[in-house]
Every structure is written in C-alpha cells, then in structure tokens.
C-alpha cells in the first residue's frame, strides 16, 4: 500500500480522544500503517534510570496512531484534504490536493 503521508507533513486527527488536533508527522511506520504525530496521543511511561534518562521517573511520549485516523492539511488552501497522485511530464510521481488541485511536493 502506498502511503499518502510523509515525514514533516502537517495533519489533522479525524477521530478519537485527540479529534481536531493538528500536528506535524515525526515518523511513519509503513509496515504497521501507523504514524507518530507531534503532541498527539501522548502516553505516560515509567522509565528506569539509564544513560539517556539518568533521573528516570515518568516521561510523556507520543504513541503511534493508525494512518486512517489522520488527514493531510494542504499547504496552499490550509484545509484537510484527500490526496491524489499525478505523473508530471518529466516522469515524477507527485501528490496533488483534491480540493485546490495544487501539487504538494
């Protein structure tokens, strides 16, 4: 399955406890079809002291959410939109906004 969302894209959450929150995609997990969005789906984790976290304690981190829960925000029209694919004259495959027909990348 081709993923329509890439690292660095701005997305909006469609449903769940974080509905209507906006954030930037930190990473994409294509095999699990999940994304990690900045500031969304935060969980608290009890962390033992390590070299990375010498203090230890309870830390908050982002948890992956299913790809079907997010929708890309078009950089031009600033609205959540579905994504289409076009092939340019030079042979590149690009993502296209379905609302304003603008090339996203």
Condensed to tens digits (0 to 9), the pLDDT of residues 30-73 reads: 999 999 999 999 999 999 999 988 988 999 999 999 999 999 99
Lookup: tokens for 67: 């790809």
Q: What is the pLDDT of residue 2?
A: 63
75-103 pLDDT tens trace: 999 999 999 989 988 988 899 999 888 89
**Same domain (yes/no): 82, 52:** no
pLDDT at 105 over 90: no
Total domain count, the chain? 2
Residues 34, 66: Cα–Cα separation, whole Å: 4
Q: Tokens representing 73?
A: 């925000």
The predicted pLDDT at position 3 comes to: 73
60 and 80 together in one domain: no
Question: Quick one: 41 and 81 in the same domain?
Answer: no
Same structural domain, 56 and 10: yes
Same domain, 25 and 9: yes
* Range of the structural domain that residue 37 is part of: 1-73
């Amino acid at each position: 399955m081709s993923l329509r969302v890439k690292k660095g894209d701005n997305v909006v959450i469609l449903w769940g406890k974080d509905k209507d929150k906006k954030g930037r995609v930190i990473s994409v997990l294509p095999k699990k079809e999940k994304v990690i969005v900045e500031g969304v789906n935060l969980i608290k984790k009890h962390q033992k002291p390590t070299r990375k976290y010498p203090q230890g304690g309870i830390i908050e981190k982002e948890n992956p959410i299913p790809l079907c829960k997010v929708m890309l925000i078009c950089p031009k029209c600033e609205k959540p939109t579905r994504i289409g694919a076009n092939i340019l004259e030079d042979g590149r495959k690009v993502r296209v906004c379905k609302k304003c027909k603008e090339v996203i990348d």
